Amino acid sequence: MCGIIGIASKENVSSNIINALRKLEYRGYDSAGIAINTAKKINQRKVKGKLDNLIYALQKDQFDGNTGIGHTRWATHGEPSDKNAHPHSSTSVSLVHNGIIENAAELKKSEEVKDYHFESDTDSEVITALLTFYLKEGLSHLESVQKTISSLEGSYALAIIFSDSEDTIYGAKNGSPLVAGTNGVGNSIGSDSIALSSVANKVCYLEDGDITVLNKESIEIYNLEGERANREFVEIGINESEVSKGPYKHFMEKEIHEHPHAVGETFRQFIDYDKGTITISNINLNFDKISKIYLIACGTAYYSCLVGKYYFEQYARTPVECDMASEFRYRDPVIDPNALCIFVSQSGETADTKAALDYCRKQKIQTLSIVNVKNSSIARDSDHCIYTKAGAEIGVASTKAFTAQLSVLLSLSIHLASEKKFVSVEENIKLCKEIMQAPLLLEQAIERSYSLKDTAKAIINAKGVMYLGRGTAFPLALEGALKFKEISYIHAEGYPAGEMKHGPLALIEKDLPVVCIVPPGPLFHKTISNIQEVIARGGKILMITDDETLESNSENIWEVFRLPKCPKSIEAIVYSVPIHMLAYYTAVELGNDVDQPRNLAKSVTVE
Ligand code: AGP
């Protein structure tokens, strides 16, 4: 939910901290701040609003030093404001925090902080107050950190500097991600490896309970018991081009154009080029014993699960239950002991999805995660993990991760079907050939979607937009509506086309835009009937279909957007492109902040 960075270096760290915050902004952008430790004191600047506001503020009095911390915030406790921005500092200590301290209110009433003058409304400031108290009690820096975090309940990733220790940074992790990095010039800690991509070439993913002590020369890591912990450092695996916009105006535009690469690289993991089949070989799972599948996620990832349900039931004849993680974890679900619970998450840090995973682990149910960020919490804590190969996704509105998730779910369902003998080797080979067409068809879909720029111009003043579909086009309708509303701020709703007459048809009025996703196939004519019901009431239909749909089906339709004919198996993947592109163009036309839409953040690591 927030982004934190700490750097201890042989060189001045100010610009590297700002650079890291730029890469962390996708995690939250309500306020930003920096604190630099110099020989005499800690200099700090923090402002409401985006990072650019902080950069502007620093132009007036830039301060330099070789040790510092930074923060970009998505507000939870305390509104976005200068005083609630991080770092939170006293004369002796300064810290930045990502997470939620659930017992902050009780701690603020404790004896230890009764003399502390709180300046903010945040939960995080109570950590500063406790550290300040323990320092005054004569504890060492490390003892103060250990004592303080032992009283915290909830989630935290912390970077802490003490004014009387010019070159050292302390880090602590529980429930929120924290990565340590090194590059020979200095050492660093941050919320993810993307933030460290220009100050580290090796990284290590800290574990819950870890405390790290770092300066420009060394990084020490201690576990919950205070013993030195050996954590593996791995190549950072992120290059600068992955986290820059390149020739594109927005990350979202870039990431839509990366659909072909993301899908191709994701599928490539499962193609057995010798046999020409789809095979999941990198997980040791007894597939034919799986009695039922639960697909659990949030937001766009949940919509990929709804498409996945069709895949597993159609190909593998395995019953599937889809759940929004925030509902699943509280409904005390009855889970079949031979079930496989699959958790889908781009970031691998979504709090509700992680909590649902923890629930299933406690029930001793087999868990598998489908995640885009390597070594993220959900990836690490599930029994099995399959990575989407979408590359870093920075835009808050998820695009290439969605089609990459569909690619894993399709491959998994084909593999499961083959294991259960519902799909023969010949059928698997045929499906594999279809899958190999996906990147090219996605390129063609992108090319054709440029025409939607004009369509977007015609709907920017709509009071709302309806998205309709049947079969796998229904979850696509939900995804299209989410994409549209989260970056255009215009209400949009996805609905099963067959459900309109049971109520939502009342919403249809003259010129209300209705996006109908109508691939060819057995549901085509049924959906055309639904379209005519909408037209009869004045709705303005944008029909998304393919080259071969007969013209006669498009009378009275405002616009027909045609995709290249594509195999049924990869249809949902290909039809994702126009719904993503329409949302993108609408938001651009409206002048909205496409990559950092209001009120949102990329990774929702709080409940
Ligand atoms: C998608 O465009 C949204 N930004 C949001 O719904 C997102 O999909 C959701 O928060 C889940 O995130 P995750 O995939 O990282 O778990």
Q: Which of 240, 242, 154, 246 is nearest to 197 (CA)?
A: 240
Nearest atom, ligand 1, residue 353 CA: 16
Q: What is the pLDDT of residue 431?
A: 98
CA 400 to chain centre: 11
Rounded CA separation 528/494 (Å): 17
Question: In this structure, which residue's CA is closest to atom 4 in ligand 1?
Answer: 397
* Helix, strand or coil, per DSSP, at residue 186: strand
How many of the other CB atoms lie within 10 Å of CB of 215?
18
Q: What is the pLDDT of residue 553?
A: 59
How far apart are the CA of 449 and the centre of ligand 1, in A? 23
Nearest atom, ligand 1, residue 600 CA: 4
Selected residue with higher pLDDT from 306 and 603:
306
Selected residue with higher pLDDT from 555 and 200:
200
Q: What is the pLDDT of residue 288?
A: 78
Question: In this structure, which residue's CA is closest to atom 6 in ligand 1?
Answer: 299
Q: Is 396 in the pocket of ligand 1 (CB under 6 A)?
A: yes
Residues 206-234 have a mean pLDDT of 92
pLDDT at 603 over 70: yes
* Helix, strand or coil, per DSSP, at residue 64: coil
pLDDT at 486 over 70: yes
- Cα 183 to Cα 4, 8, 36, 199, 480, distances in angstroms: 19, 11, 20, 6, 42
Q: Is 345 in the pocket of ligand 1 (CB under 6 A)?
A: yes
How far apart are the CA of 378 and the centre of ligand 1, in A? 14
- Is 341 an annotated catalytic residue? no
Q: What is the pLDDT of residue 166?
A: 87
Q: Is 301 in the pocket of ligand 1 (CB under 6 A)?
A: yes
Q: Is 587 in the pocket of ligand 1 (CB under 6 A)?
A: no
pLDDT at 606 over 70: no
Q: Which of 412, 395, 403 is nearest to 587 (CA)?
A: 395
Q: Is 333 in the pocket of ligand 1 (CB under 6 A)?
A: no
Q: What is the pLDDT of residue 599?
A: 84
Give residue 579's identity as a one-letter amino acid code: I
Q: What is the pLDDT of residue 552?
A: 61
Residues 197-217 have a mean pLDDT of 94
Q: Is 300 in the pocket of ligand 1 (CB under 6 A)?
A: yes
Contact of 400 with 376, CB cutoff 8 Å: no
* Helix, strand or coil, per DSSP, at residue 94: strand
First to last CA, the chain: 10
> How many residues are listed for the chain in this entry?
607
Nearest atom, ligand 1, residue 603 CA: 15
Q: What is the pLDDT of residue 211?
A: 97
Contact of 322 with 349, CB cutoff 8 Å: no
- Is 566 an annotated catalytic residue? no
Q: What is the pLDDT of residue 238?
A: 76
Q: What domains can be seen in the chain, in order of their start residue?
A: 3-242 (3.60.20.10), 245-436 (3.40.50.10490), 450-597 (3.40.50.10490)
Tell me: the pLDDT tens digits for 505-534? 999 988 899 999 999 999 999 999 899 999
pLDDT at 232 over 80: yes
Which of 1, 298, 403, 484 is the best mutation target for the ligand 1 pocket, counting ligand atoms within 8 Å of the beta carbon and taking the most?
Answer: 298
Q: Is 350 in the pocket of ligand 1 (CB under 6 A)?
A: yes
Rounded CA separation 170/190 (Å): 12
What region does 469 belong to: left with phi over 0, alpha with psi -120 to 50, or beta? beta
Q: Is 351 in the pocket of ligand 1 (CB under 6 A)?
A: no
pLDDT at 490 over 70: yes
pLDDT at 551 over 70: no
How far apart are the CA of 93 and the centre of ligand 1, in A? 35
Q: What is the pLDDT of residue 65?
A: 93
Which of 604, 606, 607 is the best mutation target for the ligand 1 pocket, counting ligand atoms within 8 Å of the beta carbon and taking the most?
Answer: 604
How far apart are the CA of 257 and the centre of ligand 1, in A? 19
Active-site residue identified among 48, 216, 483, 602? 602
Residues 413-418 have a mean pLDDT of 95
Residues 548-555 have a mean pLDDT of 69
pTM of the model: 0.84
Q: What is the pLDDT of residue 28?
A: 77
For residue 73, name the pLDDT band (cuts at 50, 70, 90): confident
Q: What is the pLDDT of residue 266?
A: 97
Contact of 252 with 584, CB cutoff 8 Å: yes
Question: Which residue in the block uniquely carries the two structure tokens 């992955």?
Answer: 242
Tell me: the pLDDT tens digits for 341-354? 999 999 998 989 99
Q: What is the pLDDT of residue 387?
A: 97
Q: Is 298 in the pocket of ligand 1 (CB under 6 A)?
A: yes
Question: In this structure, which residue's CA is closest to atom 16 in ligand 1?
Answer: 345
Q: What is the pLDDT of residue 120?
A: 93
How many of the other CB atoms lie within 10 Å of CB of 412?
27
Nearest atom, ligand 1, residue 483 CA: 2
Question: In this structure, which residue's CA is closest to atom 2 in ligand 1?
Answer: 397
Q: Is 347 in the pocket of ligand 1 (CB under 6 A)?
A: yes
Tell me: the pLDDT tens digits for 240-273? 777 788 889 999 999 999 999 999 999 999 999 9
Q: Which of 87, 174, 163, 182 is nearest to 125 (CA)?
A: 87
Rounded CA separation 63/26 (Å): 25
How far apart are the CA of 603 and the centre of ligand 1, in A? 7
For residue 328, name the pLDDT band (cuts at 50, 70, 90): very high
pLDDT at 239 over 90: no
Q: What is the pLDDT of residue 135?
A: 96
Q: DSSP strand E in 251-353: where? A: 271-272, 277-278, 292-297, 320-324, 339-345
* Helix, strand or coil, per DSSP, at residue 589: helix
Q: Is 369 in the pocket of ligand 1 (CB under 6 A)?
A: no
